[in-house]
Amino acid sequence: MMEKEKLDFDRGALIQTAIDNLDHSYAPYSGFYVSAAVLMDSGRIYTGVNVENASYPAGICAERNAIFHAISCGEKRIVAIAIVGGANGEIRDYCPPCGICRQVMREFCDPSRMLVLMAKSVTDYKEAILDELLPDSFGPDMVPGTLAH
């Protein structure tokens, strides 16, 4: 396992932001509510919740919702993300991001530094850098002929 660099930000505040937003989740089909709060390098925090749809593929995860919100506001680099969730909106376990969300995170961060907090509460959480959750990832720096390369 890689040694995590200690990033200086208030983890409890980021987690609490995600917790406070959980009741905005729209999950009438699965009953699994998720909320995310993403900290960008500007210091601003953006939130998102999962939003389901009767046409299942049309829904969106909380993590991507928060990240796309940040990007649409002009942000470009993720520092950290806090994720909470659970059946019927009750947080009972850690809520890791799905593979698609991990790949979207990869687009907007340094995967060796970006921190993912999976929380049960502000004091009970797991943290990992994105490289641990998405090893050997494919990113924008690998696409020749683009501005990111």
Tokens of 138: 């494919």
- The verdict on whether 132 is a catalytic residue reads no
Place of tokens 């806090």: 82
C-alpha to C-alpha distance for 125 and 11, rounded to whole angstroms: 9
DSSP state, 55?
S
Catalytic residue (one of 3, 5, 52, 63) = 63
49 neighbors 99 (Cβ within 8 angstroms) = no
C-alpha to C-alpha distance for 147 and 56, rounded to whole angstroms: 34
C-alpha to C-alpha distance for 46 and 90, rounded to whole angstroms: 22
Q: Cα–Cα distances in Å, from 17 out to 1, 29, 52, 145?
A: 28, 25, 21, 39
Q: Which residues are catalytic?
A: 63
